[in-house]
Amino acid sequence: MRTPRRAARVAVLDPYGAVFLFRYDNEEVGVHWAMPGGGLEPGETPRQGVLRELREETGWTDLEPGLLLGTWEHDFTRAGIPVRQHEDIYLAYGPRRDPSGPLAAAHAEDGILGWRWWTPPELAGAGEALWPPHLAQLLRPRPGQVPAVTAWTGAHQ
């Protein structure tokens, strides 16, 4: 039997639509790319959790999760425990930058091997595993959605 686990992640898009991803190494799944985020603490809402995880994993404190892009459930093993994880995935816009601050210990504990910004074509043609596997489709602009460049620059004029 798998232990239920609630989590939240955030797709951070730069002004040109590239998404920031971490490269993780999980004991069961192996190496894969995923958005910043993780398990919720007791009493924490998904939005609170994603802000905390974003701060802990990137050092960024100036982003605000907006649109709920969707949810995803998947099974994996975490710290030797089989879990069924339900993730809320949010969208945020921000500048293209690297994580900052003393993050090495947190990255080592979470199995984070590195990071990079992925353009939409790179994401669509990814040769490595992505979590969720349908990430490229999830990030495709929807009818009526404001393009990333406009959304970022418009929010900070």
Rounded Cα distance between 14 and 21, Å, is: 12
Q: What is the pLDDT of residues 85-99, one digit of tens each?
A: 999 999 999 999 999
Q: What is the CATH number of the domain that holds 138?
A: 3.90.79.10
pLDDT of residue 151: 43
Count of structural domains within the chain:
1
Whether the pLDDT of residue 110 is over 50: the answer is yes
Statement: the pTM of the whole predicted model exceeds 0.85: yes
pLDDT at 153: 38
* Neighbouring residues of 127: CB distance < 8 A, sequence distance ≥ 6: none
Summarize the confidence of residues 128-147 as an average pLDDT. Answer: 80
Hey, how many other C-beta atoms are within 10 angstroms of the C-beta on 92?
A: 23
* pLDDT, tens digit, 9 for 90 and up, residues 1-55: 899 999 999 999 999 999 999 999 877 777 899 999 999 999 999 999 999 999 9
Q: Scan for tokens 């929010």, then name that residue.
A: 155
What pLDDT is attached to residue 143?
A: 62
What is the phi-psi region of residue 108: left when phi exceeds 0, alpha when psi lies from -120 to 50, beta otherwise? alpha
What's the angle, vertex CA 95, arms to CA 156 and CA 124, rounded to 5? 120
Q: How far apart are CA 1 and CA 94, in angstroms?
A: 39
From 13, 12, 36, select the one nearest 23 (Cα to Cα). Answer: 36
**Residue-range definition of the domain harbouring residue 58:** 3-155
